Amino acid sequence: MKRLLLALALSTAPLPAITADLIMVEQNGCHWCARWNADIAHIYPKTDDGKRAPLRRVDLRDLPDDITFASQPVFTPTFVLVENGAELGRIEGYAGDEFFWFLLSKLLNEHAVPPAPDS
């Protein structure tokens, strides 16, 4: 009976929440990176999606060792959704704020990144 109760308790335990980061791969002189910075950077951390996946910036020419990319980023900006250092998905390029928010929301939802706790 104790085993049955333990099994039932464990089966209803909540799954650990996915914690994700959005890695922005950029480089000096990138026109589209500058456009993203002007359009989005100042509001990104204040948005629900920005809280779901906090932004981390990395340079295209100096990629960090703690991230395993599915393939080497080529274009800037490239936005890579990462969980525990592994790539889940990416957005390559920046075609404007509305398209960015649409693609980001889609990417977060596809990978079941939960809302931020205070959302």
Locate 25 and state its tokens: 């791969």
Contact indicator for 112, 18 with CB cutoff of 8 Å: yes
Is 64 part of any domain? no
Closest CA to 108 of 32, 20, 6, 11: 20
Tell me how far apart the alpha carbons of residues 59 and 53 are, in angstroms, rounded to a whole number: 19
Instruction: Report the pLDDT value the prediction gives residue 76, as an integer from 0 to 100.
Output: 98
Instruction: State the pLDDT confidence band at 117, using cuts at 50, 70 and 90.
Output: confident
11 pLDDT above the threshold of 80: no
Is 29 part of any domain? yes
Contact indicator for 90, 81 with CB cutoff of 8 Å: yes
Tell me how far apart the alpha carbons of residues 37 and 29 are, in angstroms, rounded to a whole number: 12
| Structural domain total, the chain | 1
Is 109 part of any domain? yes
Instruction: Report the pLDDT value the prediction gives residue 115, as an integer from 0 to 100.
Output: 83
Is 30 part of any domain? yes
Q: Give per-residue pLDDT as tens, 34-89.
A: 999 999 999 999 999 999 999 999 999 999 999 999 999 999 999 999 999 999 99
Instruction: Report the pLDDT value the prediction gives residue 69, as an integer from 0 to 100.
Output: 97
Is 48 part of any domain? yes
Which CATH number covers residue 54? Answer: 3.40.30.10
Is 37 part of any domain? yes
User: How do strand 78-83 and strand 55-59 relate by DSSP bridges?
Assistant: unpaired
Closest CA to 82 of 63, 99, 95: 63
Is 39 part of any domain? yes
Locate 15 and state its tokens: 């799954």
E-strand ranges in 1-119 read 20-26, 55-59, 78-83, 86-92
Is 10 part of any domain? no
Question: Which pTM was predicted?
Answer: 0.83
Supply the range of the domain harboring residue 113. 23-59+74-79+89-119
Q: Is pLDDT larger for residue 115 or for residue 89?
A: 89
100 pLDDT above the threshold of 80: yes
